[in-house]
Amino acid sequence: MDTAAAGTEVLLERAMRRALELARLGPSGGPNPQVGCVLLGPDGDVLAEGWHRGAGTPHAEADALAKVPEGAAAGATAVVTLEPCDHTGRTGPCSVALIDAGVARVVVAQPDPNPLAAGGAERLRAAGVAVEIGVLGDEAAALNERWATALRLGRPWVTAKWASSLDGRIAAADGSSRWITGPAARADVHRRRAEHGAILVGSGTVLTDDPALTARDGDALLPHQPRPVVVGLREPAPDAAVRAHPEPLLRVRSHDPAAALEAIADTGATSAFLEGGPTLLSAFLAADLVDEVLVYLAPTLLGGDRLATLDLGVPTIGAQRRLTIREVHRLGDDLLVVAHPDHREA
């Protein structure tokens, strides 16, 4: 590779990393992927940046193009984390917007897995625009893994979370559980809640623990709040904390995990943060409807029978539900283990 080509490759990778940063500014867990765009002039200078702010708002490419004067994008390179859409919905196709703006080159991290929106690269090439796909593709795929999985499976991605002692207990003998883990672990939970479109618990947990189900930074609410979902036949009390949630409460009057996910999908959410308790958590695990497991382990021992999970339908060791550990983090005195079911890794 000659010096000029190497320099261009570095420039495009740098721009794509910035586009990924911009994408993360947009909401996650909703019906749309997180997408960022950087417009580069012919000399490599940044002309504009854009990102998608949620359903019904301009897509990342349109957001960036709107920030430059008419005609200023002629001959530019658009660096985008996801293939420009070729679909007309609440907004027009980004492929056409780029062509109309006179963009000469489009560099894409990841092809669009949505068959309803894909085809932008083909339209761009047909119009004479150079298209390159695959720059930082793995990073882009990881960013929208939950959205893409929900698209493929036809149901929201489910992250199941619990905090336990090293001997696997989630509460003391009297049922008290605040707090098993320390402040760093609890802050991490709230950050991850905010990355999902919904947060769900069983009605028994609401009656016992009265959780708010909000995503917070200290006492302040985070900008994005997952929609609270209560699954089960028992009604939350009129003054239950969840009724004060900034997002409307979704009640699923059923014990069926699939019914809960269908109701969540109807709201437009593509990911759900499952907080339990053990009955609901075990139902989702037994039904093979969990895509990610977060286990916060505290350096303490509780004993007793307050376990995170109940019967999972594992009659023999040969039927055990194996997980692949993706990440391990130290959070203060606690450990976080992030794992996925083995078949999700296939």
Q: Is 300 annotated as a binding residue?
A: no
Q: Does 209 belong to an annotated binding site?
A: yes
Q: Is 282 annotated as a binding residue?
A: yes
Structure token pair of residue 90: 């609440």
CATH topology of domain 3-148: Cytidine Deaminase; domain 2 (3.40.140)
pTM recorded for the entire structure: 0.87
State yes or no: 279 annotated in a binding site. Answer: yes
Residue 277: cis peptide before it, omega within 30 degrees of 0: yes
pLDDT at residue number 344: 57
pLDDT at 2: 58
> How high is the pLDDT of residue 346?
45
- Domain parsing of the chain, residue ranges: 3-148, 156-341
Find out whether the peptide bond into 179 is cis, omega within 30 degrees of 0.
Answer: yes
**Average pLDDT per 10 consecutive residues for the chain, totaling 346 residues:** 68 95 92 94 93 90 94 94 89 92 96 90 96 95 93 95 91 79 94 95 91 92 94 94 95 95 95 91 94 95 85 85 93 96 64
User: 255 among the known binding-site residues?
Assistant: no
List C-alpha distances in Å: 152 to 10, 87, 112.
Answer: 33, 18, 12
Q: Is 194 annotated as a binding residue?
A: no
How far is the C-alpha of 277 from the C-alpha of 319, rounded, in Å? 23
**CATH 3.40.430.10: does it fit domain 156-341?**
yes
Q: Tell me if 28 is assigned to a ligand binding site.
A: no
What does the alpha-carbon distance between residue 159 and residue 300 come to, in Å, rounded to a whole number? 24
pLDDT at site 82? 96
213 assigned binding-site residue: yes
Question: Pick the catalytic residue: 61, 83, 195, 292?
Answer: 61
Does residue 274 contact residue 290 with C-beta atoms inside 8 Å?
A: yes
198 is in an annotated binding site: no
Q: Is 61 in the active site?
A: yes
CA 10-14-15 angle, to 5 degrees, is 120
